[in-house]
Amino acid sequence: MIVDRSSIDEALRGVRISDTRYCRSELSAPWGLEMEPCPIVTFHFVARGRCLLTGAGADRWLEPGQFVMFPHGQGHRLLSAPGQPTQPLTPLPKRRLGPQSTVLRHGDGGDSTLLLCGGSMFVPADHPLVSALPEVMVGTPTGHMAGVLPVLEREAAQPSAGSEVIVTRLSDVLVMHTIRTWLETSPPARQGWLGALHDEHLGRALTLMHQAPERGWTVASLAAEARMSRSLFARRFTEDAGAAPMDYLTQLRMRHATALMREHGLTPAAVSVRVGYHSPAAFARAYKRVTGRTPGSAKAKPAD
């Protein structure tokens, strides 16, 4: 499969990982854990031992160094052996290690497995890339990324000062690396919105919209940039991107506006110009129509 680097860059741009938390799970056979469906990204890193993943498509064994993530928080089970009864992970007693980490000791004293079980959030959650991701993604970092594994394994097995920060940051890196690998190698990553990014004509229009959402784009000006007729551009854009060009632009502007207000503390009045509106009132009406909320609801996120 030919890899279009600029399209992958554009797909990843504007999405970040936030609020990563993890549980250092020290497990001894026999054991079984059940993860209920949840509205966040969940992941597991096998630092030592192995476990069986079930309830998420075909059953598979996860070996040391493997990383599995569930972009949409799909429920699943991890077992020390096939047929092992499971217990919900959430109510099991845990000891807090720090603001973003806990430790769980569970099982019946047999062969040991060490997992990092965590959760994160995509920001913004409604980015087109997020909705395009599959239910489950499994991988083993290779090449230069393989160097992350010994560090993560060591910090998980022998936590010390600063381990929480290192583990959460490396987990974020592994999430993004797993997504990048999927974008590079998976045929579904050439469909829909992602396929439009790879398209010679639609990709140019999408990139320009993302780079300068504040510009006074029209269907005609975007079609000219894409070197297509207005009618053909509007039809193909709507089919591939999942929204008409101007609707897509408005949604893009509102995501950008939310980030500027929530992450950077800008006021709605300051944001309105940055996303292409000449008056705060017009921006407020558009924001309410698209998000169902007022701009004032997107307050700056407090520091952890």
pTM, 2 dp: 0.85
Condensed to tens digits (0 to 9), the pLDDT of residues 44-92 reads 999 999 999 999 988 999 999 899 999 999 999 999 999 999 999 999 9
* Average predicted confidence (pLDDT) for the chain: 91
Please say which residue of 190, 218, 240 terminates a domain. 190
- Of 155, 120, 124, the C-alpha closest to 21 is 120
Q: What are phi and psi of 47, to 5 degrees?
A: -85, -30
Structural domain span for residue 117 = 5-190
In a domain, residue 303? The reply is: no
**Cα distance between residue 70 and residue 41, in whole Å:** 6
Please say which residue of 146, 173, 190 terminates a domain. 190
In a domain, residue 227? The reply is: yes
Residue 119 vs residue 150, higher pLDDT = 119
Residue 46 vs residue 148, higher pLDDT = 46
Query: Binning pLDDT at 50, 70 and 90, where does residue 136 land?
Result: very high
Please say which residue of 162, 190, 218 terminates a domain. 190
Condensed to tens digits (0 to 9), the pLDDT of residues 192-218 reads 999 999 899 999 999 999 999 999 999
